[in-house]
Structure 1
């Protein structure tokens, strides 16, 4: 009779310990994100952050793939926010315009 109780308490302790570990890990991971909202007028740095890119010579080739991946996860037709989708599209448009202007 004591064995099921001990096994149950051990399982509960393991689950609570794992939950605490995963929460702490998620909080540490959240520190990498920029705090605050969007700027009133988007600039190049904000667009790069929205799409999760790094500024560099290969960025032009990665804009389309980054945009597509983020839009799949945030598309309004699949339950995403229309506002976030508009910001993601704005970031892509701004970066494509600035990259095309830069290469000319």
Structure 2
């Protein structure tokens, strides 16, 4: 099985149509030897400074160079502060599941930074 990951759902659907992955599942399409999934923009980001114990940020704290840098599922701002984006967390689990069931991965995202 070959996994293909696209940058967003609409591109993933187009790729799935072209490769014949015509069975729609929650967060991916499958068929014809392919599993096509997608990101939802940036699903992972660097952890916020409070993760490393910085309760307030001051100029003398810069540069902040944690060892190691921690990656977290995308966060969204709410009235309670920053919380994990449920949709991003769910899609990350779908991507992990697809990748674990495939022998190879094709990254079909843009060539940006």
Q: Could you tell me the TM-score, scaled by structure 2's length?
A: 0.29
Structure with more of its chain in strand, by fraction = 2
Give the structure with the higher percent helix.
1
Computing the radius of gyration from Cα coordinates, the structure with the larger value is 1
TM-score under structure 1 normalisation? 0.30
